[in-house]
A and B are shown apart, each in its own frame.
Chain A
Amino acid sequence: MKKTLSIIITVIIAVAAITACGSSDKTAESTTGSSDNQLYVYNWGEYIDPEVITMFEEETGINVVYDEYETNEIMYPKVAAGASRYDCICPSDYMIRKMIQNDLLQPLDWSRLPNATANIGKTYMEQSETFDPGNKYSIPYCWGTVGILYNTTMVDEPVDSWNILWDPKYKDNILMQDSVRDAFMIPLIMNGDSVNTTDPDELNDALLKLEEQKPLVQAYVIDEVRDKMISGESALGVIFSGEALYTAEENENLDYAIPKEGTNVWIDSWVIPKNAEHVDNAYTFLNYLARAEIAKMNFDYIYYPTPNTAAWELLDDDMKYNPIAFPDLTQYDNLQTYTYLGEDMDKTYDNLWIKLKSY
C-alpha cells in the first residue's frame, strides 16, 4: 500500500514537473499567439543598438525578448531542434540557404515591409539572390568583408596579403576566427580555390596549411578579437569589417586591410522561422529596423555596413565613402560569398575542424 502510494505520488510529481517544464518552456516562448505581445529575437552578439529595442518597445508596446549567439553553427541546432521558438533570426548567407533547404523559414510578405522594400539597396537584394533566389525569405541587415586588423605599432611592413598570418615573426600574435567556414576560407583563397569547394584534396591542402599555422596562432576567438586587439594583446587578427571601424575608434593604432588575394563578402539577413509564434510582431519589428533613421542609429552603434541606402544617405560624407565601412568592391577581383554545401559537407567540415583543433 505505502509502496504503491509513494510510486503514485512520484509519478504524479514527475508528470506534473514534466508538463510544468513543457508549459514553462512555452511561456518562455509563449503559446497564445501574438495576443501576449511578445517578440523573441535571436541575433548575433553586439549586433544592434540596445536603444533601438527600447524605442521599439516604447513605440509599439511589444515586449522584446532578445537572445544572442556567436556563430551560425551555434544558432542552427537550437532553431532546428525547435527547443526555442524565435520570431526573427539574423543568420548569414549560407546558413539562410541551409534553413531554406531544411524548410525552417516562412516566405515573407513584402507588402507588410514597406520600409524594407523602399530602403534596401537594389544591389544588395540582387546579391542576396545567390542564397535566397527571388528574395523570398530574407531581408538584408548588414554586409561586409573579412580582413586583417593589425596594430601599426607592432607590424612594420604593409599588410596586404593573407601570407602575413603565416609569418613566424608574429608567433603568438595572431588571432584567428573560431568558426570553421571563416577559418578555412583563408587558406582556400590563398590556394586559389573556391571557398565553397567540396573537393577533398583542396580541403585537405587547406587543413595542412592551417595546421602549419596553428603553432603561430595565439587563440581562436570570435567576439574577443576586438577586445584583444584594442588592448594590444595581439598584433594581427582576422576580423569582420564592421568590427574594424569600432576598434579603430578605440585604439588609433589599429588599421584594417582587405588582402589582395581576395576574401569573403557576406550578408546577414533577417528571416522569420516557420514555427514563429508572433509573426505580426516580427513584421512590425523588421519593418521598424528598415526605417532610415533607425538603420542609421544601428550603424552608428555597431558600425557594420548597412544595405539600407536611405540610411546611407543620412551619413556624413566621411563615413559614406570610408573605404573600411563601404569599400569599393569593384577594386577587388576575388570576392566570394559562402553557399550552403549540404549536410555531408557540414560533417566533413566539422571533422576537419576537430582535426585542426586537436593537431
Chain B
Amino acid sequence: MIRTKKIRNLFATPYLSWAIIFIIVPLVMVIWYGFTDSDGALTFANIASIARPEFMKSLGLSLLLSLISTVLCLIIAYPLCMILTEKKAGKAGVVILLFILPMWMNTLLRTMAWQTILEKTGILNIFLNFIHLPSIYIINKPQAIIIGMVYNFLPYMVLPLYTALSRIDDNVINAARDLGANKFQTFLHVTLPLSIPGIISGITMVFIPALTTFVLSQMLGGNKILLIGNIIEQEFTQAYDWHLGSGLSIILMVFIIINMVVEAAFDKSDEQ
C-alpha cells in the first residue's frame, strides 16, 4: 500500500513542480508586485489606480465586448449543438472536427487573416463591390474585435455544450413528450436545465480569454482601442511599471475568480 502511494506521489512530482514553477511562483510575484511600490513598501495605490477614468473605461469596454462575444458564441453554438446531437455519431463527428480544425492553426495567423478580410481594400469589400454593394468599414472598430473574439473562441463554447447535450438521455426527452409536453415545453423544462452545466463552462471558457485578450484588440483594433489587457501589456513592456501592471492584473483576476465561483456554485446545485 505504502509502495503504491509512494509511486503515485513520484508520478505526481512532474506536474507538481510544473505547477509550482509556472503557476504558484508567478502568481505570488504578481501579488507581490501588485501590492508594493518601486521602493518595496506596501501600497494599495496600484489596485486603486483602476479608478482612473481611462482605466475604468478600458475595463468597461473589455467587459462589454467579452459579454457580447460570449452571448454571440452561445447563440451560435447552442442550436448547432442541438442539431449535432440529433445527428448520427459519425456525421456529428465530422462537423465537430470542422470546428476544432481551425484551432490547430496559430491564433495570430488566423487573426491576421481576418485583418486581410476586413480591411478597406480587403477580401470582403472586394466581394461586396463585385456584387455592387457598398463597402463596409469595420476594421479597427470594436465590431472587428468582436468578430475576432467570436471566431477564435467559438470552439470553446461548442465543445462543452455538445458534451452536455449529448449526455442527455433520449428516454428523458421521450418521457416528457409522452407525458404531453410539446417540443417547446420539452426544451424549456428538460433539455435546457440539463444542459446548464455545459452552458456555464462554455461561458467561462469564452468569457475569460475574451476579457484578458490584448492581441485581438491590437491587431483588429488598429491600436486605437485600448482594452484592459492592452493597458496591462503596455505597463509591462513599454512603461516598465511592473507594479501598476500587476495591480491591474489582480483586478482582472477578481473578475476571473467571480466567474469561477459562479461556475462552481452551478456545479454544486447540479450535483444535488
Contacts and interface: CB of A to CB of B under 8 A. Distances in A.
Interface residues of A, number: 38
A10 interface: yes
Interface in A252-276: none
A218 B9 contact: no
Interface of A: 1-3, 5-6, 9-10, 13-14, 17-18, 71, 73-74, 76-77, 80, 172, 178, 214, 217-221, 231-234, 346-347, 350, 353-355, 357-359
A178 B224 CA distance: 9
B268 interface: no
B21 A18 contact: yes
Interface of B: 2, 5-6, 9-10, 12-14, 16-17, 20-21, 54-55, 57-58, 119-121, 137, 140, 222-226, 230-231, 234, 236-241
Contact of A172 (B14, B120, B230, B239): B120
A2 to B, nearest CB: 5
A2 B9 contact: yes
Contacts of A346: 239
B21 A17 contact: yes
A218 B121 contact: no
Nearest to B227: A358
Given A13-B13, A217-B222, 4 more contacts: A74-B238, A217-B224, A233-B121, A354-B54
Contacts of A233: 119-121
Contacts of B238: 71, 73-74, 77, 350
Contact of A231 (B21, B54, B121): B121
A231 B222 CA distance: 16
A5 B7 CA distance: 11
A76 B54 CA distance: 25
19 contacts: A2-B2, A2-B5, A5-B9, A10-B13, A17-B17, A77-B237, A77-B240, A219-B223, A220-B222, A221-B222, A347-B239, A350-B241, A354-B55, A357-B223, A357-B224, A357-B225, A357-B226, A358-B55, A358-B226
